[in-house]
Amino acid sequence: MERNVKNASKIKLLALDVDGVLTDGSLNIGAEGELFKAFNARCLLRSGVRVAIITGRKSAIIHRRAEELGITELYEGIKDKRKILADLAAAGGLGQEEIAYMGDDLNDLPALLYAGLACAPADAAPEVISASSFVAANNGGRGAVREAAELILKAQGKWNEIVNAYMKQGQGDSQ
């Protein structure tokens, strides 16, 4: 559901929660006690949009996936996600209208209310959906981040360029 997404063309930073956004929120524990999560994300990094991960948890799995995706801005064990967004804005000389945030639960509300473009997966808490200007058709971990990325890239006129680059030569798996 798109409400007011006019700020999508201004976005220079997309910050993401992990559980329920990059993943479906499931925590899977194997017989040996190992913990693993399912990730489904497409990044904007190649098009010049910064991507940050802000999560309340700490996990080596998050580090590994962030590294694979080329995301260098990773904030773990965070209770006040809004403060991190404000710090990122100040450090990067960004206005609030240049920041997008995608979250799914009540602890994401302050960050969503701060961001110029508030995004939520389809299965987010009702209060999060109400606070969001863009609600993906897909659930967290099932394409919601990709939808937000496409929204931003299309609003910035970069989507067709990316698609054409893939049609000409492909880009491997580092999207």
pLDDT confidence tier of residue 2, bands split at 50, 70 and 90: low
Q: Please name the amino acid found at residue 154.
A: K
- Of 18 and 117, the structure prediction assigns the larger pLDDT to 117
What is the structure's pLDDT at 72?
87
Residue range 97-137, pLDDT digits in tens: 999 999 999 999 999 999 999 999 999 999 999 999 999 99
Neighbours of 111 (CB within 10 A): 25
pLDDT confidence tier of residue 19, bands split at 50, 70 and 90: confident
Are the C-beta atoms of residues 76 and 57 closer than 8 Å to each other?
yes
Instruction: Give the residue from 51, 68, 56 showing the smallest Cα distance to 25.
Output: 56
Question: 29: which residues sit within 8 A by CB, 6+ positions away?
Answer: 35
Provide the mean pLDDT of the chain. Answer: 83
What is the structure's pLDDT at 39?
36
Neighbours of 174 (CB within 10 A): 10
As a whole number, mean pLDDT of residues 69-83 equals 92
- Of 140 and 166, the structure prediction assigns the larger pLDDT to 140
